[in-house]
Amino acid sequence: MIPLSRKSPVPPSDCNLAKSVDLIGDRWTLLILRSAMYGIRRFDDFQAELGTPRTILSGRLKSLVDTGLLDKRTYKVEGRRARPEYVLTDKGEALRPVLIALTQWGDTWLDEQGQPPVSFTDMKSRQAVRAAFVGTDGREVDAKDLRIVLRR
């Protein structure tokens, strides 16, 4: 159990978790990133899948491009005008473990069916994988064995 504390070790204004939540923490942004992780790239496909109002989707996509999480590229289908598509950048792709961890948390704590709709496996071994804390030596570390180290 975590001992009682009267305040966090880092104020929210200096906390990178708080900054991350400010950047990606709203429902539509997370769902757009989720869809992009599964390969959705085009505005109409995001809109059809998520049911996001077009003005909100447009604003969120612009914000994700402006913050460097998505790259806006042009594609052209023969006989039609060029249109944009949105692809995860390396910065956006780096959120994949976070999104998978949230998915697996939901599988454990929110899934009422007992059978999650998706799972994640290693492409080579086909073994199931799960999000975990891993030390630089490759050893898995239990969350209860983590400690906070202040860098100030």
CATH value at residue 52? 1.10.10.10
Q: What are the residues whose beta carbons fall under 8 Å from the beta carbon of 45, sequence distance 6 or more?
A: 35
Answer whether residue 151 is part of any domain. no
- Give the predicted TM-score (pTM) of the model: 0.88
Whether 27 maps to a domain, the answer reads: yes
Range of the domain at 95: 12-145
pLDDT of residue 136: 96
CB-CB contact of 129 with 135 (8 Å): no
Residue 30 in any domain: the answer is: yes
Q: What is the pLDDT of residue 90?
A: 98
User: What pLDDT score was predicted for residue 152?
Assistant: 65
Rounded average pLDDT per 10-residue block, the chain, 152 residues: 82 92 95 98 97 97 98 94 96 97 94 88 95 95 90 74
How many structural domains is the chain composed of? 1
- Whether residue 135 is contained in a domain is answered as yes
Residue 39 burial (CB count, 10 A): 9
Residue 78 lies in a domain: yes
Considering the domain boundaries, does residue 6 fall inside one?
A: no
Residue 2 within a domain: no
Amino acid 51: pLDDT:
97
Q: Is residue 150 part of a domain?
A: no
